[in-house]
């Protein structure tokens, strides 16, 4: 009786030897490795270029704002500010939804504008074939290579009769299976190594946040191991290598190519969303119901007037020490922004519900769980974008109200003249937009945990399946 | 005829072949249904928005349609709805309709600050692209063909029947022809029966439907030829399968993604941001400069209003709208540049069709369905034309200082959806034709060589004609 432990690495080593000798397998693996390196380098370059362009735009937009001449503050409310969304560091691995969301928002008074100029709206249909990023290679192509390398791990040896021979020589089928698994998990590590090394290097060099980087690397290792374990399981169960390949390619098709396209259709059909125009009309209508600042007899603004007069202890608006129109503007902005916030929250909630419907299928398609995990960790998921929009809206409100306050305090309430203006020096005192990148562990902690759990659950189930299948092999010995 | 029947029976007896064909039929039918549902949803959204807009317009009319109503305020508060309903063939190729807005409201203000507004969009759902006929055709059909064809020859050899088959005196060659043609026709049938049904339901124009069917037939011919050519090489089934899968990955996933990276780098389109920034500067600068400076370029374009009374006070609506028009006018070069760079991206994608059948078929389908970037640019241009009509409508009120009353609201110009900009591009069709012909030609030569060499082998002759 040999030490059972020594046989497992031996089986693995034999499998590696066979793979190294297989020229096609080597060429395919090297091609994929080259692709990963290329896409990672391209990704870094692209991310930095995009980030630099957005920072440059932000700087010019801020400069031109500060350089505006003396004006009435309300003119500046309409001149507005432009805000550009900075790109997270890890976007070089997975740009996520960045190509599909606009990355610039125009901020002005009375209105909440959308984020515009997304890459998807300005590109030909080629963009929809997928972007060449490490995430695309790791999520879509690498599983196919793993399948291709591992589909015959057991089935081929069975077909060729070597399995029977090995077992006759005293190798236990469970050791055999464990060895094959070890071999292919090793292959997974080798395949993912180029991208993961870049990731770890970026984290160590302080360029990328360390914990998300490490979690991302582990996530991809688990995801790819799922494919290795699936391939092994099918290879253990199916009689012929050919059938094993067929089953596995079909599974890849369903999980990686079909599910991500069919599920969104389902989500949109089941949970329709109102368009921007409908929301705008609804906000306008609700606003009319709350109060109309232009209508002198409007009950809400009559009350507001009474309260304001009481607060300053005067009888007529003309006697107010501050500018009355500015006060009305501030109150109006407060009302509209409240409505914007509510409608935005509702829209986010609807989006979240649609996404939940799709993400629930992460239990069926590990790709969905992996994609989600990867985007969350890279801060390029829908929620990070929403976080940006919320920060932008908070800034918009602060900026518009700051200008309104200037109008209240700096423009005379009486006899201001035909064209009252305040000094341009004030523009520089207004807050510029500073984006606070979200801490993804706080923002997406729950989702990251859930998706990791789904992936590990998949791996665990598959490993148990492999164990059971190996035992069945033992029974038929 | 009997031989055909026998081949058909053989084909359906193989579980893999029958399963692959059935799956293709089901998935195509599903994709056509999903496409029809998506276009119906877009129509419903348009109807909903029209209703909301109608309510909004009614309330604006009530508020500003007074006997002494002011055209300036009316124009400021009245939004005008524009819509871009899906073409009848959009169900087959939804293209960019999921990311581009197909309803947009504009008013008399500067158009360039209104044109790029984006619609509420859940980016995560758009990420993978739509599930439509174009997707099934581009991605899934090659896989079905690979499953059906990769062991066409090697399967016979591995079963030990190859020598017998090629040495049959009557049907030696005919057998491959029959098998090949049968598979081609069955795949095409599984694809076209649901598509043509969908086109009939959507009342699509016959010529465009035929063009899409032709593009599909050529694309299928390309993959069919490729699979047959590989099958005739004489490798094992496994090697054939692997080689064909590699072709599929390169031709439908890798090369297009790479090409997109190259094209988007070579033709940057940040100009969209540039032009809105520039337009904002121009419009807002107008508040700080003498009004004549704004009116000068305006009157060059609109001499008919030159002799109206000058604007003396701080504000007049006619000056306000003139300044917006001048702001738009001032960035017309940037607008042209921006559109040109987007068109260039499209053009280069179409050129890619000479090398990449997937790009050719996508270009063709989306052009015929009028759902690509070009279609959206056509929508933008039609909004622009409508905006000009709006100016022509409002300016007489503003410049002649006529009151704007309730009846005038009823005379407001209405946006008519643009005529379809769909076209049947010749170049990707020729590209597909050339690619399909080249590959199929090579495949047929390969099969002939296979038959004769195997026949010689069977009769004992070496492939070189002399026994070594």
pLDDT per position as a tens digit, A407-434? 999 998 888 787 888 999 999 999 889 9
Least confident of A134-148, B110-124, B196-210: B110-124
Q: Specify the 3-state DSSP secondary structure of B40.
A: helix
Region of A172 (left: φ > 0; alpha: ψ -120 to 50; beta: rest) is beta
**pLDDT interval class at B466 (50, 70, 90):** very low
What residues in B contact A79, CB-CB < 8 Å?
A: 280, 284
Measure CB to CB from residue B100 to each of A119, A121, A136 and give the nearest one. Answer: A121
Cβ–Cβ below 8 Å for B41 and A272: yes
Token pair listed for B378:
């056509």
Residue of A nearest to B236 (CA): A242
What is the structure's pLDDT at B164? 73
Residue of B nearest to A36 (CA): B254
**pLDDT interval class at B455 (50, 70, 90):** low
What residues in A contact B37, CB-CB < 8 Å?
A: 265, 269
Question: How many helices and strands, by DSSP H and E, does chain B display?
Answer: 20, 2
B contact residues 89-148, partner A, Cβ 8 Å cutoff: 95-96, 99-101, 103-105, 113, 116-131, 135, 139-140, 143, 147
Least confident of A130-134, A290-294, A296-300, B133-137: A290-294
Average pLDDT over residues B337-358: 93
- Is B45:B379 a contact under the CB 8 Å cutoff? no
Query: CA-to-CA distance for A334 and A383, rounded, in angstroms?
Result: 25
Cβ–Cβ below 8 Å for A118 and B118: yes
Pairing assessment for the beta strands B103-106 and A81-84 based on DSSP bridges: unpaired
DSSP category for residue B85: P
B13 in contact with chain A, both atoms CB, cutoff 8 A = no
Is pLDDT above 90 for B458? no
Least confident of A103-107, A177-181, A203-207: A203-207
B179-188 pLDDT, tens digit each: 889 999 999 9
B355 in contact with chain A, both atoms CB, cutoff 8 A = no
For residue A44, give the nearest of A224, A208, A219 by alpha carbon.
A208
Q: Any idea of the CA torsion for A170, A175, A181, A186, to the nearest 10 degrees?
A: -90
Is pLDDT above 90 for A127? no
What is the structure's pLDDT at B169? 57
Query: CA-to-CA distance for A132 and A39, rounded, in angstroms?
Result: 6
Cβ–Cβ below 8 Å for B273 and A245: no
Region of A56 (left: φ > 0; alpha: ψ -120 to 50; beta: rest) is alpha
Is pLDDT above 70 for A475? no
**pLDDT interval class at B413 (50, 70, 90):** very high
Least confident of A305-314, A361-370, A410-419, B163-172: B163-172
Query: CA-to-CA distance for B227 and B247, rounded, in angstroms?
Result: 10
Is pLDDT above 90 for B234? no
Listed in sequence order, the residues at least 6 apart from B34 whose beta carbon sits closer than 8 Å to its beta carbon are A262, A265, B130, B131, B132
Q: Which residue has the tokens 């099969």?
A: B447
Query: CA-to-CA distance for B375 and B101, rounded, in angstroms?
Result: 12
- Is A229:A466 a contact under the CB 8 Å cutoff? yes
What residues in B contact A135, CB-CB < 8 Å?
A: none
A97 in contact with chain B, both atoms CB, cutoff 8 A = yes
Mutation for testing the A interface, residue in B22, B128, B264 having most A CBs under 10 Å: B128
**pLDDT interval class at B336 (50, 70, 90):** very high
- Is B98:B124 a contact under the CB 8 Å cutoff? no
B293 in contact with chain A, both atoms CB, cutoff 8 A = no
Token pair listed for B432:
């597909």
Query: CA-to-CA distance for B127 and A359, rounded, in angstroms?
Result: 13
What is the structure's pLDDT at A105? 92
Average pLDDT over residues A144-152: 89
Q: Is B354 exposed, middle or buried (0-12, 13-18, 19+ CB in 10 A)?
A: middle
**pLDDT interval class at B358 (50, 70, 90):** very high
Where b means 16+ CB within 10 Å and e means fewer, A380-405 reads: bbbbbbbbbbebbbebbbebbbbbbb
Is pLDDT above 80 for A356? yes
What residues in B contact A63, CB-CB < 8 Å?
A: none
A262 in contact with chain B, both atoms CB, cutoff 8 A = yes
A3-51 pLDDT, tens digit each: 556 788 988 998 989 888 888 788 888 888 888 888 888 888 889 988 9
Cβ–Cβ below 8 Å for A281 and B257: no
Query: CA-to-CA distance for A144 and A142, rounded, in angstroms?
Result: 5
**In Å, how far from its chain's centre is CA A289?**
38
What is the structure's pLDDT at A1? 42
| Percentage, residues of chain B above pLDDT 90 | 63
B459 in contact with chain A, both atoms CB, cutoff 8 A = no
B300 in contact with chain A, both atoms CB, cutoff 8 A = no
How distant is the Cα of B216 from the closest Cα of chain A, in angstroms?
A: 18
* Residue A5 or A70, more confident: A70
Query: CA-to-CA distance for A414 and A423, rounded, in angstroms?
Result: 19
Average pLDDT over residues B11-36: 90
Query: CA-to-CA distance for A180 and A10, rounded, in angstroms?
Result: 10
What is the structure's pLDDT at A5? 60
What is the structure's pLDDT at A58? 93
A contact residues 294-333, partner B, Cβ 8 Å cutoff: none
- ipTM, interface predicted TM-score of the complex: 0.88
Cβ–Cβ below 8 Å for B99 and A101: no
- Compute the count of residue pairs across chains A and B with CB atoms less than 8 Å apart: 230
Measure CB to CB from residue B257 to each of A100, A130, A262 and give the nearest one. Answer: A130
Strand-pair partners of A422: A71
* Residue B49 or B9, more confident: B49
What is the structure's pLDDT at B348? 93
Query: CA-to-CA distance for A31 and A23, rounded, in angstroms?
Result: 12
- Is A194:A37 a contact under the CB 8 Å cutoff? yes
- Is B432:B215 a contact under the CB 8 Å cutoff? yes
Token pair listed for A261:
């396209």
What count of other Cβ atoms lies within 10 Å of the Cβ of residue A254? 14
Mutation for testing the A interface, residue in B41, B257, B280 having most A CBs under 10 Å: B257
B249-308 pLDDT, tens digit each: 899 988 998 898 889 889 887 678 888 888 888 888 888 888 999 999 999 999 999 988
Cβ–Cβ below 8 Å for A257 and B139: yes
**Long-range contact pairs involving A165-173 (C-beta distance under 8 Å, separation at least 24):** A167/A477, A170/A2, A171/A7, A171/A11, A172/A4, A172/A7, A172/A474, A173/A470, A173/A471, A173/A473, A173/A474, A173/A477
Max mean pLDDT among A14-18, A31-35, B230-234, B388-392 falls in: B388-392
* Residue B236 or B430, more confident: B430
- Is A189:A200 a contact under the CB 8 Å cutoff? no
Average pLDDT over residues A103-120: 88
Strand-pair partners of A83: A105
What residues in A contact B346, CB-CB < 8 Å?
A: 124
**In Å, how far from its chain's centre is CA B340?**
18
Average pLDDT, chain B: 89
Cβ–Cβ below 8 Å for A124 and B131: no
Token pair listed for B408:
């005038």
Average pLDDT, chain A: 89
> Residue ranges of the domains in chain A?
6-476
What is the structure's pLDDT at B249? 87
**pLDDT interval class at B467 (50, 70, 90):** very low
Cβ–Cβ below 8 Å for B81 and A277: yes
Least confident of A153-162, A258-267, A323-332, A343-352: A153-162
Cβ–Cβ below 8 Å for B120 and A79: no
What residues in B contact A28, CB-CB < 8 Å?
A: 246
Is pLDDT above 80 for A291? no
Token pair listed for A367:
């790709």
What is the structure's pLDDT at B19? 87
Residue of A nearest to B271 (CA): A117
What is the structure's pLDDT at B173? 62
- Is A15:A156 a contact under the CB 8 Å cutoff? no
Stated pTM of the model: 0.91
Q: Specify the 3-state DSSP secondary structure of B16.
A: helix
Is pLDDT above 70 for A303? yes
A contact residues 50-69, partner B, Cβ 8 Å cutoff: 53, 57, 60-61, 64, 68-69
B212 in contact with chain A, both atoms CB, cutoff 8 A = no
What is the structure's pLDDT at B452? 65
What is the structure's pLDDT at B166? 67
- Is A57:A159 a contact under the CB 8 Å cutoff? no
For residue B135, give the nearest of A272, A169, A265, A21 by alpha carbon.
A265
Is pLDDT above 80 for B356? yes
Give the helix ranges, DSSP H, for B232-331: 237-248, 255-266, 271-285, 291-301, 317-330
Measure CB to CB from residue B119 to each of A53, A136, A276 and give the nearest one. Answer: A276
Query: CA-to-CA distance for A11 and A18, rounded, in angstroms?
Result: 11
Is pLDDT above 60 for B462? no
A26 in contact with chain B, both atoms CB, cutoff 8 A = no
Sign of CA dihedral A328, A330, A334, A337: positive
Query: CA-to-CA distance for A192 and A198, rounded, in angstroms?
Result: 10
Pairing assessment for the beta strands A81-84 and A104-108 based on DSSP bridges: antiparallel
Mutation for testing the B interface, residue in A128, A238, A294, A374 having most B CBs under 10 Å: A128
Measure CB to CB from residue A124 to each of B49, B253, B345 and give the nearest one. Answer: B345
């Amino acid at each position: 009786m040999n030490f059972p432990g020594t046989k497992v690495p031996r089986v693995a080593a034999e499998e590696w030897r066979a793979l190294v000798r297989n020229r096609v397998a080597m060429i395919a693996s090297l091609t994929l490795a080259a692709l990963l390196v290329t896409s990672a380098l391209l990704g870094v370059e692209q991310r930095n270029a995009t980030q630099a362009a957005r920072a440059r735009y932000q700087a010019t937009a801020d400069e031109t704002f500060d350089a505006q001449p003396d004006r009435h503050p309300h003119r500046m409310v309409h001149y507005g500010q432009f805000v550009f969304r900075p790109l997270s560091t890890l976007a070089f691995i997975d740009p996520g939804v960045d190509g599909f969301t606009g990355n610039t928002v125009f901020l002005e008074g009375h209105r909440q504008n959308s984020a515009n100029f997304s890459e998807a709206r300005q590109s030909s249909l080629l963009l929809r074939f997928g972007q060449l990023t490490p995430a695309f290679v790791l999520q879509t192509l690498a599983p196919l290579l793993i399948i291709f390398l591992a589909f015959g791990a057991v089935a081929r040896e069975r077909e060729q009769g070597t399995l029977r021979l090995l077992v006759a020589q005293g190798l236990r089928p469970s050791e055999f299976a464990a060895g094959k698994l070890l071999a292919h998990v090793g292959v997974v590590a080798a395949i993912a190594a180029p991208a993961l090394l870049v990731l770890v290097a970026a984290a160590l060099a302080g360029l990328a946040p360390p914990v998300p980087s490490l979690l991302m690397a582990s996530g991809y290792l688990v995801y790819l191991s799922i494919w290795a374990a699936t391939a092994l399981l099918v290879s253990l169960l199916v009689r012929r290598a050919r059938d094993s390949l067929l089953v596995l390619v079909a599974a890849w098709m369903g999980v990686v190519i079909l599910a991500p396209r069919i599920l969104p259709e389902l989500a949109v059909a089941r949970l329709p969303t109102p368009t921007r125009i409908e929301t705008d009309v609804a906000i306008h209508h609700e606003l009319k119901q709350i109060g109309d600042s232009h209508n002198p007899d409007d009950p809400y603004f009559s009350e507001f007037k009474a309260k304001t007069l009481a607060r300053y202890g005067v009888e007529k608006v003309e006697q107010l020490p501050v500018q009355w129109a500015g006060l009305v503007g501030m109150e109006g902005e407060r009302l509209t922004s409240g409505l914007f916030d509510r409608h935005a929250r509702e829209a986010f909630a609807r989006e979240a519900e649609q996404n939940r419907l799709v993400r629930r299928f992460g239990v069926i398609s590990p790709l969905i769980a992996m994609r989600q995990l990867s985007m969350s960790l890279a801060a390029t998921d829908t929620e990070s974008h929403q976080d940006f929009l919320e920060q932008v809206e908070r800034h918009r409100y602060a900026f518009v109200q700051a200008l309104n306050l200037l109008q209240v305090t700096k423009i005379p309430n009486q006899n201001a003249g035909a064209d009252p203006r305040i000094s341009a020096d004030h523009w520089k005192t207004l807050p510029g937009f500073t984006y606070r990148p979200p801490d993804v562990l706080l923002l997406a902690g729950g989702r990251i945990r859930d998706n990791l759990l789904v992936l590990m659950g998949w791996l665990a189930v598959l490993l148990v399946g492999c164990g059971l299948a190996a035992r069945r092999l033992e029974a038929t010995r | 005829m009997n031989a055909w029947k026998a081949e058909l029976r053989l084909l359906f007896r193989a579980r893999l072949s029958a399963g692959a064909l059935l799956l293709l039929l089901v998935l195509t039918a599903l994709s056509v249904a999903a496409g029809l549902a998506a276009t119906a949803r877009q129509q419903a959204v348009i109807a909903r928005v029209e209703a909301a807009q109608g309510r909004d317009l009614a309330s604006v009319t009530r508020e500003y349609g007074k006997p002494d109503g002011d055209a300036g305020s009316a124009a400021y508060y009245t939004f005008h709805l524009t819509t871009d309903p899906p073409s009848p063939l959009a169900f087959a190729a939804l293209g960019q309709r999921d990311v581009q807005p197909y309803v947009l409201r504009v008013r008399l203000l500067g158009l360039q600050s209104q044109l790029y507004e984006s619609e509420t969009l859940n980016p995560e759902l758009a990420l993978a692209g739509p599930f439509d006929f174009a997707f099934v055709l581009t991605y899934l059909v090659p896989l079905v063909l690979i499953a059906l064809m990769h062991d066409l020859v090697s399967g016979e050899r591995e079963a030990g029947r190859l020598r017998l088959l090629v040495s049959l005196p009557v049907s030696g060659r005919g057998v491959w022809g029959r098998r090949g043609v049968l598979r081609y026709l069955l795949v095409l049938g599984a694809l076209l029966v649901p598509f043509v049904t969908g086109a009939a339901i959507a009342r699509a124009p016959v010529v465009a439907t035929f063009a899409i069917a032709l593009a599909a037939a050529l694309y299928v011919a390309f993959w069919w030829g490729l699979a047959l050519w590989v099958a005739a090489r004489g490798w094992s089934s496994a090697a054939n399968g692997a080689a064909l899968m590699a072709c599929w990955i390169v031709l439908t996933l890798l090369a297009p993604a790479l090409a997109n990276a190259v094209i988007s780098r070579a033709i940057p389109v940040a100009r969209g941001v540039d032009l809105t920034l520039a337009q904002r500067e121009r419009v807002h600068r107008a508040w700080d400069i003498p009004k004549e400076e704004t009116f000068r370029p305006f009157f060059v374009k609109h001499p008919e209003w030159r002799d109206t009374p000058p604007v003396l006070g701080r504000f007049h609506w006619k000056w306000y709208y003139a300044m917006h028009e001048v702001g738009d006018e001032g960035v017309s070069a940037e607008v042209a540049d921006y559109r040109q760079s987007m068109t260039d991206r499209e053009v280069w994608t179409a050129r890619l069709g000479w090398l990449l059948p997937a790009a050719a078929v996508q270009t063709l389908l989306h052009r015929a369905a009028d759902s690509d970037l070009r279609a959206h640019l056509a929508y933008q241009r039609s909004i622009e034309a409508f905006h000009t009509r709006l100016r022509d409508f409002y300016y007489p009120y503003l410049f002649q200082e006529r009151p704007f009353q309730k009846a005038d609201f009823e005379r407001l110009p209405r946006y008519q959806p643009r005529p379809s900009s769909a076209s049947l591009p010749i170049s990707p069709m020729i590209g597909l034709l050339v690619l399909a012909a080249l590959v199929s030609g090579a495949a047929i030569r390969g099969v002939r060589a296979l038959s004769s060499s195997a026949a010689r082998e069977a009769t004992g002759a070496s492939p070189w004609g002399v026994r070594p």
